[in-house]
Each structure stands twice: as structure tokens, then as C-alpha cells.
């Protein structure tokens, strides 16, 4: 119980620090602009106007949310080390694992909050444009929230042992690859060499699969989102986030700040 209270205090401080970051508001402003610009883009087409509008909005939500999770997340630990405040925090009865979990929880709550704001903007633009809006649209946005939870864990992992620049490159790289792992796995399975298929399977299991959270196509085109797939996405997000934070905690516990 005491450990949870310490993690909650660290998460609260991280949230307060994150909402003072001007980069967050810049990316949030651009996301609103992109969501609204879907109306203009949709007018260029005579067919599937609503689908283009909402596909543009969902893509903007995913892209800018990932940007906020990455560029705000990579500086979480580096800023504490740079300001030397980490020594004050760790001199108190706070373990390094609790410190890492508090940072992750605070940033995850921050990106979920900005995701909710983008979701509201998406709903307003859809309503003003007369595009249909059903519960599956919000379910698809909630799945983006799970994707962000995993992405924040990855950003926290890299920020635990490397510089912000490298952490950003690694996190963005994994986010991009994570949306391609299914295609890479399928290509590897078509190879005549058994070793290529085996390596492809291992890579697919090791790297994140962010497409499990991508239900934009179903939501935009009115296709049903299977609840079993949602349950799988929830279990995958919890499992991958837990393993990533465990690895980050092991690395961060051995880091020398001197």
C-alpha cells in the first residue's frame, strides 16, 4: 500500500510536469488542426466523404498522440538527472522501480487525457459535418489509448539508459516497425528458407504489434469490431507493457548516475 502511494505521488508530479511542457500543447494544437482539415480534404471527393473525413481524423489522433507520448516521454528521466533532482528523490524511501513506474503512470495519464480531448474534437467535427458517429468510433479511439500505454512504456525503457535523442529514435523506430510486423511476418513465412520463417516468427513475437490496436478501418466503414479482438488487445497491452517496464526497471536499477 505504501508503495502504491509513493508511485501515485510520483505519477502526480510527472503529470504536473508534463502539462507544463509547451511541446504537448503544440502537438495538441496541430492535431486539432489536422482533424478539422479533414472536412476540407473530404470535399475534394464525391464518394465516401464521411469515411475520408473520419479516417483523416483517426490518423491525426494516432500520429500526434504517438508524438506526444514519445517526445514528452523521452525526457522524463533525463530531466531529473540533468536537474540533479533524481538524487533527492532516490535519497528518500523510494525504489528505482517505483520511480520508473511513477513516471510511466504519470505520462500515460497525460497522453490519455490529451487523447480524450482529441476524441472530443473528432466527435465535434464529425457531428458538424454530418458524418455518422457510433460507439465503435470511440472503441477504436480507446484502443489507440492502449497503444499509447505500450508506447509510453517503450519510451520509458529507452529513457532509463540512453540520451533523449537516441531514446526518441529508438521509440519512433519501434512504433513504425510495430505497425509493420504483421506484414514482415507474413513475408518471412512465404520464404523458401525455413530459417527465414523461423527468424520472422521470433521477431514478430519480440517486437510490438501495434496493428492489434488499429481498428480505424472497421470504425470508419461501419464494420463490427469483434469483442474478442478487443479483449486480446487489452491482454496484449497489459502483458507487453508489464514486460517492457520490468526490463526497464532491471536496467534502471543498475544505472550509475555519477
Residue 257 pLDDT exceeds 70: no
pLDDT for 236: 95
pLDDT digits (tens, 9 = 90+) for 202-220: 888 889 999 999 998 888 8
- Summarize the confidence of residues 45-54 as an average pLDDT: 78
For residue 166, CA distances in Å to 20, 70, 100, 118, 216 come to 23, 11, 19, 28, 30
For residue 205, CA distances in Å to 185, 210, 252 come to 10, 12, 24
> What is the percentage of the chain residues whose pLDDT exceeds 90?
34
pLDDT digits (tens, 9 = 90+) for 109-147: 999 999 999 999 999 988 888 888 888 899 999 999 999
CB 60 within 8 A of CB 87: no
CA distance 58 to 35: 8
Window from 83-97, 116-130, 168-182, 201-215 with minimum mean pLDDT: 83-97
Q: Which of 169, 178, 27, 156 is nearest to 104 (CA)?
A: 156
Task: Reduce the DSSP state of residue 226 to 3 states and report it.
Answer: coil
Q: Which three cell numbers stand for residue 232?
A: 486480446
Question: What's the predicted TM-score (pTM) here?
Answer: 0.90
Residue 92 pLDDT exceeds 90: no
Residue 86 pLDDT exceeds 90: no
CA distance 55 to 3: 42
Q: Residue 222: which region, alpha, beta or left (left: phi > 0; alpha: psi -120 to 50)?
A: left
Q: Which three cell numbers stand for residue 4?
A: 502504491
Confidence at 170, pLDDT banded by 50, 70, 90: very high
Residue 91 pLDDT exceeds 90: no
Spatial neighbors of 202 by CB under 8 A, at least 6 apart, are none
| Alpha helices (runs of H) in 47-95, residue ranges in sequence order | 49-73, 76-82, 85-90
CA distance 231 to 203: 23
CA distance 158 to 155: 5
DSSP 8-state assignment for residue 207: S
> What is the percentage of the chain residues whose pLDDT exceeds 70?
98
pLDDT for 53: 84
Q: Which of 257, 202, 205 is nearest to 236 (CA)?
A: 205
Residue with cell 494544437: 29
Amino acid at each position: 500500500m505504501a508503495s502504491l502511494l509513493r508511485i501515485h505521488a510520483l505519477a502526480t508530479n510527472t503529470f504536473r510536469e508534463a502539462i507544463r511542457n509547451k511541446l504537448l500543447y503544440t502537438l495538441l494544437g496541430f492535431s486539432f488542426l489536422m482533424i478539422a482539415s479533414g472536412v476540407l480534404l473530404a470535399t475534394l471527393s464525391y464518394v465516401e466523404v464521411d469515411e475520408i473525413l473520419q479516417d483523416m481524423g483517426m490518423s491525426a489522433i494516432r500520429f500526434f498522440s504517438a508524438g506526444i507520448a514519445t517526445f514528452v516521454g523521452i525526457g522524463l528521466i533525463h530531466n531529473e538527472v540533468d536537474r540533479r533532482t533524481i538524487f533527492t528523490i532516490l535519497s528518500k524511501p523510494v525504489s528505482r522501480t517505483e520511480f520508473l513506474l511513477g513516471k510511466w503512470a504519470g505520462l500515460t495519464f497525460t497522453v490519455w487525457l490529451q487523447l480524450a480531448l482529441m476524441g472530443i474534437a473528432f466527435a465535434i467535427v464529425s457531428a458538424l459535418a454530418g458524418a455518422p458517429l457510433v460507439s465503435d468510433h470511440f472503441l477504436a479511439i480507446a484502443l489507440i489509448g492502449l497503444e499509447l500505454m505500450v508506447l509510453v512504456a517503450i519510451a520509458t525503457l529507452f529513457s532509463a539508459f540512453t540520451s533523449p535523442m537516441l531514446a526518441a529514435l529508438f521509440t519512433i523506430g519501434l512504433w513504425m516497425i510495430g505497425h509493420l510486423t504483421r506484414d514482415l511476418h507474413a513475408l518471412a513465412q512465404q520464404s523458401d528458407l525455413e530459417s527465414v520463417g523461423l527468424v520472422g516468427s521470433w521477431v514478430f513475437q519480440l517486437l510490438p504489434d501495434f496493428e492489434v490496436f488499429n481498428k480505424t478501418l472497421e470504425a470508419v466503414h461501419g464494420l463490427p469490431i469483434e469483442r474478442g479482438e478487443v479483449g486480446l488487445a487489452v491482454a496484449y497491452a497489459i502483458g507487453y507493457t508489464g514486460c517492457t517496464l520490468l526490463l526497464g526497471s532491471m536496467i534502471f536499477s543498475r544505472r550509475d548516475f555519477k
